[in-house]
Structure 1
Amino acid sequence: MLLFAMLATTLSMRVIASDLYARRVPNRWLLGALLLGTLLLAWQAVQQGIASTVPHGAGLLLGLCSLLPFYAMRWMGAGDVKFFAVLGFLLGWQALLPVWIGASLMAGAHAVAVYSWRSLRLHLPPRLMLLQHDAAQHRALAPVLHQVQQARGGREGIPYAAYLGLTSICWAGWTLWGAAP
């Protein structure tokens, strides 16, 4: 369990950074984690028996199938779906519901904040609107923000994979250290 949690945490940290920066979840990271996880799973099967692999296989299938409809409706990207499936493989099917709930709550709060700001911005007094506009132009000129915009390549939206990664790190930590008697 510890090695799977460490692998999931390492992958999650990389995905969080990539999703926040470029709104991308690199396939090679997912594939690499899947291959390392498969090796760990084979070792676990030899040590503990084939039945110990069931939660991981079920997690992969359940993770993929549960978010696939949202991808089909264009509500999320393919990287989010694949990442959730890999997390299910690494952490087991038991982790999927808590990780999904936590990530969805954070993504929902993010969406509410964005839409509230957009709505509030329209009702600002003219002087504050001018200050906000000037601040936005100043931020747009910052080199770092320009690099982020280039890295995103026009991709917008809520960084759902980052929220999945954050909640999976919390889940791994809680199950390894927080749930101990």
Structure 2
Amino acid sequence: MLAIVLSAPVVLSDLYARRVPNAWLAATLLTAVAATLLQRLLGATPVVWPSLPGLVTGLVTMLPFYAIRWMGAGDVKFLATLGFLLGVRALLPIWIIGCLMTGVHAVCMLLFRLPRIAYAPGVSTVRQHLHASPLWQRSLHARQGRVGLPHAAYLGIAAIVTVLTPDLMHWEGA
């Protein structure tokens, strides 16, 4: 549940401002650790979702993409946090779904840059209305020059889908 509570605002924040606030990630990690410690102190069966191997796996697998500037630091930290919350097994479906969604977004962006499509009457009109809208202008201002695709948003959507579809975490590795 904590993964969904974190993912929903991350999706909105990354779509709107291309930003994943560190405070949200830190608060989520602290909440997960505190809940685990509380359950252990009360003698309850420890929860299985806080996973140090998941955190390390999420971090290590995404760092190379950050190093070559394909991803932002927020994307890396967000996947690491999801790894901590959901464990290593959840990372593969989250990563695959998130990357597929980011890939579709990238292809759409490239297609809309083609002259035949970009200057088509309907597309051109929609683009003009979008760029003139106050929401678009506020979003550009909130981004403070940050460019790129909202990969953390797609990872967040993938995390929500993965949590709500538990069968995705029970894949059989080859």
Same fold (TM over 0.5): yes
Equivalence for 1:85 = 80
The C-alpha deviation readout for 1:93-118, integer Å capped at 9, x for no partner, is 11001100110111111111111121
Question: Which structure's residues are more often helix, by fraction?
Answer: 1
How large is the Cα RMSD of the aligned pairs? 2.5
Say if 2:108 is the partner of 1:109.
no
Aligned-partner Cα distance in 2 for 1:55–1:23: 27
Query: 1:169 Cα deviation (Å)?
Result: 0.6
How far apart are 1:42 and its partner, in Å? 2.2
Q: 1:48: Cα distance to partner? A: 3.2
Question: Tell me, which stretches of 5 or more residues in structure 1 are unaligned?
Answer: 1-5
- 1:75 corresponding residue in structure 2: 70
1:123 aligns with 2:119: no
Instruction: State TM-score, norm by structure 1.
Output: 0.82
Question: How many residues matched?
Answer: 167
Separation (CA, whole Å) in 1 of partners of 2:61 and 2:88: 11
Q: Judging changes above 3 Å, is the alpha-carbon distance between structure 1 residues 17 and 33 closer, same or farther for their aligned structure 2 residues? A: same
Q: Which protein is bigger by CA-based radius of gyration? A: 1
2:152 alignment counterpart: 161
SS at match of 2:147: coil
1:144 paired with 2:144, answer: no
Q: 1:116 to 1:61 in 2, by over 3 A?
A: same
TM-score by length of 2: 0.85
Identity level (%): 46
Q: Deviations over 1:122-179 (max 9, x none)?
A: 13597x46x6545433432221211111011121211100011001111111128x98
